[in-house]
Amino acid sequence: MSSGTSTAGRRVKQGLISLGWALAGVVIAILLWEGVKLLGTVITLPFETSDQAMPHVWTIAQGALQPEVRGSDTPVWLTVLIAALYTLLIAFGGFIIGVSVGLLLAIIMQRFAFMERGLLPFVIASQTVPLIALAPLIVGIGNRISFGPFQWGQTQSIMFIAAYLAFFPLSVGALRGLNASTPTQLELMRSYAASPRSTLWKLRFPASVPYLVPALKVSAAAAVVGTVVAQISTGGRGGIGRLIIEYARETTAQPAKVYIAVIGAILVGLIAAGLVALLDLYLTRNLPKEKLT
Amino acid sequence: MSEFAVHAEGVWKIFNEGAANEVTALSDVSLDVRKGEFVSLIGPSGCGKSTLLRVIADLTSASRGTVEVAGMTPQKAREDHQYGIAFQQAALLDWRTVRRNVELPLELAGWDKAKRRARALELLDMVQLHDFAESRPWELSGGMQQRVAIARSLATDPEILLMDEPFGALDEMTRERMQNELLRIAGATNTSVIFVTHSIPEAVYLSNRVVVMSPRPGRITHVVDVPLGDRNEDTRESDAFFEAVTAVREALRGRAKPVGEGGARLAETS
């Protein structure tokens, strides 16, 4: 018989262990990078390992401290960090919109069987459209949208693309989750003369949490990838995607720079994953551990 | 009509009626359960005992015939929270505490928070789980979970308790203890109980009458009166108990004469 507090304590301890592993992962990544470079000097590898293509870890670290342009006060790391946070913000917006739309679609599809038959094929088809084809289309349509003072801009297009990728895993996961209540639980609700809305709030929705948790993780990753790729393909200013392109052009002069932007993109992904992990911890606080994936 | 907790007359339940895969689950079933009476439904798989319970609970509707529950239609009785129900699976909600699981039917019946809480604690007292009110269901043993489910089924103080093999998944010792608790609770609250079971001794120990059903098509073949009086631990070892068990067993085997033909220890259907 474990009390609630000791369960929470165990969760915290597990969190710390995970953090330790994550740090170990970073160390292993650095060792692998340098190891491959070292190996490249001994034998011929099928890819370039010169300092031009794969700068040393310390060169990258040094590059991060350099000023953004000659004579500027802003170091590269700060520019990357600001761009990363801006990308994270847009990805967060896309995630919220995507999750809301995905959840709404799942609720509609669960409630009305004909909606599931009608909508689900379109939901799946939506993800077969290549993002690169979609991005200019959305920008093109978006440019013509304005309500009063609101003018659809590049930021809205990028957020839309992030939401477009994020809604899918969530709606599919949530639909499964909303249907995961046992027949006995549903009959109990019927015996209590519960309305469809009460059944949704008191049974179906909480019972879907074990399915929502992995879906939220996938959606968050999709929102981040969607934002970065959309920033690259629309050339959206201020984000990490644009920075990756810009720094890639400077490779001959400063080969380390593009990697700093890539690390910035990784940082966005890690922060997003961390935030979702906190959300999961909150959602699953009352559930038995063995039910969680 | 209202002298009966449940009154069923000429009830048929036919699944996929008219289609090639038509199944007659209930065929011309009539049953009256008096107020405060404990009636068990027993029979092999597919005899329609669970279907009959589900028709009474308005979880499915009868194809033909009339059913009255607490003097009203099954639908009205369900919407009025006239019955409580418990299944083989406790089906507790993992994310709620034990107390809030018991409160669930009260929430849906529109009780206010303080009254709900007081009622849930009172019921948990009755099933001797007061100390576990703030535990999560998954921290409890199977028997304890089933006691929570019984407390929940009694939450709205229903006139009628419908139970579909509620002790089916429990070990023998727990099962006997639960049977005693159920009899105590049903007696104290003067609740009518319809109890579906596979176990002959369980049906005999609990019931005033045991309704024996037979499959293909599902129908009532015998109704065995069990005049054992007040139950206690000696009852299970008494001669009268074994006689009643034998009577039910023979009825199940089809050796005793069916209803209406004057079987030896078998009473007429009411």
ipTM value, please give it: 0.87
Indicate yes or no: CB of B91 within 8 angstroms of CB of A203.
no
Q: When comparing pLDDT for B263 and A5, which is higher?
A: A5
Which CATH number covers residue A96? 1.10.3720.10
Cα–Cα distance, B182 to B125 (Å, whole number): 14
Q: Which amino acid is at B99?
A: R
Is residue A77 assigned to a domain?
yes
Token look-up 């009411």 returns B270
Indicate yes or no: CB of B108 within 8 angstroms of CB of A194.
yes
* A123 and A4 both lie in a single domain: no
Set of chain B residues whose Cβ sits within 8 Å of the Cβ of A287: 94-95
**pLDDT tens for each residue of A234-263:** 887 888 988 998 898 888 888 888 999 999
* A98 and A238 both lie in a single domain: yes
Distance of CA B12 to the CA centre of its chain: 20
Taking the whole predicted model, whether its pTM rises above 0.90 is answered as: no
Cα–Cα distance, B143 to B7 (Å, whole number): 32
Indicate yes or no: CB of B57 within 8 angstroms of CB of A191.
yes
Where in the sequence is the domain holding A121, given as residue range(s)?
Answer: 67-291
Set of chain B residues whose Cβ sits within 8 Å of the Cβ of A203: 93
Indicate yes or no: CB of B138 within 8 angstroms of CB of A288.
yes
Q: Chain A contact for B89, CB < 8 A?
A: yes
Set of chain B residues whose Cβ sits within 8 Å of the Cβ of A193: 78-79, 81, 108
* A263 and A151 both lie in a single domain: yes
* A83 and A10 both lie in a single domain: no
Cα–Cα distance, B133 to B149 (Å, whole number): 13
Is residue A62 assigned to a domain?
no
Q: Chain A contact for B108, CB < 8 A?
A: yes
Is residue A153 assigned to a domain?
yes
Cα–Cα distance, A124 to A112 (Å, whole number): 18
Q: When comparing pLDDT for B98 and A139, which is higher?
A: B98
Indicate yes or no: CB of A187 within 8 angstroms of CB of B96.
no
> What's the whole-number mean pLDDT along residues A108-132?
88
Q: What would you report as the CA-atom Rg of chain B, rounded to the nearest whole angstrom?
A: 19
Indicate yes or no: CB of B85 within 8 angstroms of CB of A188.
yes
Token look-up 């990728």 returns A165
Q: Would you kindly state where each structural domain of chain B is located, as residue ranges?
A: 4-82+158-267, 92-157
- Are the C-beta atoms of A84 and A265 separated by less than 8 Å? yes
Is residue A261 assigned to a domain?
yes
Per-residue pLDDT of chain B (270 residues; tens, 9 = 90+): 467 999 999 999 999 988 888 889 999 999 999 999 999 999 998 899 999 999 999 999 999 999 999 999 999 999 999 999 999 999 999 999 999 999 999 999 999 999 999 999 999 988 889 999 999 999 999 889 999 999 999 999 899 999 999 998 888 888 888 899 899 988 888 899 999 999 999 999 999 999 999 988 899 999 999 888 888 888 888 988 999 999 999 999 876 665 544 433 444 443
Number of domains in chain A: 2
DSSP A203: I
Cα–Cα distance, A101 to A222 (Å, whole number): 15
Cα–Cα distance, B117 to B124 (Å, whole number): 11
pLDDT at A293: 47
Q: What is the mean pLDDT of chain A?
A: 88
**pLDDT tens for each residue of A184-237:** 999 999 999 999 999 999 999 999 999 999 999 999 999 999 999 899 888 878
Mutate to test the interface with B, among A184, A197, A284, A287 (most CBs of B within 10 A): A184
Set of chain A residues whose Cβ sits within 8 Å of the Cβ of B56: none
> What is the DSSP track for B14-68?
EETTTSTT-EEEEEEEEEEEETT-EEEEE-STTSSHHHHHHHHTTSS--SEEEEE
- Are the C-beta atoms of B50 and B40 separated by less than 8 Å? no
Indicate yes or no: CB of A193 within 8 angstroms of CB of B107.
no
Q: Chain A contact for B240, CB < 8 A?
A: no
Residue A142 has, within 13 A of its CA and on its CB side, a CA count of: 19
Q: Chain B contact for A197, CB < 8 A?
A: no
Query: Min CA distance, B33 vs chain A (Å)?
Result: 20
Pair of tokens at residue B246: 């034998």
Q: Chain A contact for B246, CB < 8 A?
A: no
Indicate yes or no: CB of A287 within 8 angstroms of CB of B57.
no
* A30 and A74 both lie in a single domain: no
Is residue A5 assigned to a domain?
yes
Closest CA to B58 of B44, B48, B68: B68
Phi, psi of B11 (to 5 degrees): -85, 130
> Could you give the percent of chain A with pLDDT greater than 70?
96
* A150 and A278 both lie in a single domain: yes
**pLDDT tens for each residue of A51-86:** 888 899 988 988 888 887 777 788 889 999 999 999
Phi, psi of A25 (to 5 degrees): -60, -40
Indicate yes or no: CB of A192 within 8 angstroms of CB of B104.
yes
* A37 and A80 both lie in a single domain: no
Nearest to B91 among A182, A192, A202 (CB): A182
Distance (Å) of CA A26 to CA A22, A225, B87, B172: 7, 21, 52, 56
Is residue A115 assigned to a domain?
yes
Indicate yes or no: CB of A185 within 8 angstroms of CB of B78.
no
* A164 and A24 both lie in a single domain: no
Query: Min CA distance, A289 vs chain B (Å)?
Result: 10
Closest CA to A167 of A224, A233, A222: A222
* A89 and A230 both lie in a single domain: yes
Q: Chain A contact for B85, CB < 8 A?
A: yes
Q: Chain B contact for A192, CB < 8 A?
A: yes
Q: Chain B contact for A209, CB < 8 A?
A: yes
Cα–Cα distance, A16 to B225 (Å, whole number): 65
Indicate yes or no: CB of A192 within 8 angstroms of CB of B93.
no
pLDDT at B265: 42
Q: Chain B contact for A288, CB < 8 A?
A: yes
- Residue in chain A closest to B154 (alpha carbons) equals A192
* A142 and A181 both lie in a single domain: yes
Cα–Cα distance, B50 to B194 (Å, whole number): 11
- Are the C-beta atoms of A101 and A163 separated by less than 8 Å? yes
* A22 and A136 both lie in a single domain: no
Q: Chain B contact for A186, CB < 8 A?
A: no
* Domain B4-82+158-267 is found in CATH 3.30.70.20: no
pLDDT at B264: 38
Q: Chain A contact for B76, CB < 8 A?
A: no
Cα–Cα distance, A53 to A47 (Å, whole number): 9
Cα–Cα distance, A89 to A83 (Å, whole number): 10
* A234 and A138 both lie in a single domain: yes
Indicate yes or no: CB of B78 within 8 angstroms of CB of A190.
yes
